[in-house]
Amino acid sequence: MRDAGGKNEALFERLLEVASEELELDFAFVPTVPWAQFLLNPRRLRGSDFLMRWSQGQWSESRLIEAVNETGQFFALPYGISSVAPDNDVRAAELYFEFLDRANVNQAKRPDLLIFPSSRRREVDEILKEVSSISVPSTIETETIENQEAALNFFQKLTGTQKLPFFDEGNPLIKNLLQMSVLGIEAENSLWVTEKMPHYREQLRPMKRLGGKPGLPKNAVTPTIILKEEDIDPLIAWEEGNNVPIHIWHVFYDRAFGIPLKKALSLIEGGLIEPSEQTFQSPGGATTKKRIFKIYHHYAYHLGETISQPELIADYILDKNGHILPYVRFEGGKLRLTDEAIGMLVKELESRT
């Protein structure tokens, strides 16, 4: 459990929280529906927006992994808690988070993905195979879980990748994994077509509120890379503790941008990027205000281009009481890394060898 504003916050609630600004922009056309109080025991999902956001996040990370793997020079592995959770069943993901809440391991912030050189594929696969062979880590307090037999069966079916968060990064297996990695990736996504954003092609210009430093008006609608203030210290600690650089990759509907964490922090410290406050809502309905930094895409490298669009598929989930909640999920589509991004990965690899 995590403490948020003096209250314990379950992983499921924290990882599925959505910025209210995003909900207003993306779902303003959706009327109030009878399923708005849908019950997903033991927590509530307030409408289709959370399910769609979950689907969108899983989809965008899958596109990043495929894009990296198709370079032939590198491959990507899901690593962060939300990234490795089951991606085809929200209830299964919730149960997965319940296991993590009961695991007495250090659930510190981890990047969503790890990038490795292709030459390390066999070694990484061997580590994942060994992790997968461990039935139940001793860190799990199984006696507090209802229907223990079913829960343990669920855990035993998890892949080696899905079991990674149950192992502390001091574990020899995880340490070996991190030593082979080139980059840690903090993945973000937004439902925007950058080409159609009104200020996408506007150049930065001196702004009075920034003391004459370059920027855009506060209400400008342009691609930005999001960094939460609450994530900054944990990400710095992870980067320094594991000696693996972190980049933030932000996926939009038609393209993606990336920026090194260190560069993002230097822009913030230099007063080039100012904080803004957003209200976030969790599936259970709780709202919190958090400061975030929106980094102009002008400071980022062009990470990738969408070369085929995903399909938007109508779907639904059904709870044990027969309640139905419809939503739209993403399927297919393809992202291709730019030569600039591949060149950056090659340089990072060379700097670590």
Beta strand extents in the chain (DSSP E only):
2-4, 7-9, 18-19, 39-40, 43-44, 74-78, 113-117, 183-189, 205-206, 214-215, 224-228, 246-251, 255-260, 275-281, 287-296, 301-308, 311-318, 324-331, 334-337
**pLDDT of residue 285 exceeding 90:** no
Which pLDDT value is given to residue 96?
76
Q: Mean of the pLDDT values across residues 236-264?
A: 96
The tokens for 244 are 């693996």
Which position has the token pair 């779902």?
Answer: 27
Q: What is the model's pLDDT at position 141?
A: 57
Q: Which of 158, 2, 149 has the alpha carbon at shortest distance from 78?
A: 158
The pTM for the full model equals 0.83
Residues 82-117: tens digit of each pLDDT: 777 766 666 677 777 777 776 655 567 899 999 999
- Nearest 10 degrees: Cα torsion 165, 80, 9, 228: 150
Predicted confidence band at 157 (pLDDT cuts at 50, 70, 90)? confident
Which has more confidence, 9 or 217? 217
From start to end of 244-310, where are the E strands?
246-251, 255-260, 275-281, 287-296, 301-308
For residue 17, is pLDDT > 70?
Answer: no
Note the pLDDT of residue 89.
64
Nearest Cα neighbor of 263 from 216, 296, 231 is 296
Q: Which residue has the higher pLDDT, 6 or 75?
A: 75
List, for residues 45-80, the tens digit of each pLDDT value.
Answer: 444 566 677 777 788 899 999 999 999 999 999 998
CA distance 222 to 200: 5
- Greater confidence (280 vs 300) lies with 300
Task: Identify whether the C-beta of residue 117 lies closer than 8 Å to the C-beta of residue 349.
Answer: yes
Query: What are the tens digits of pLDDT across the range 302-347?
Result: 999 999 888 878 877 765 567 677 777 778 889 999 999 999 999 9
- Look at residue 306 in the predicted model and tell me its pLDDT: 92
Check whether 216 has a pLDDT greater than 50.
Answer: yes
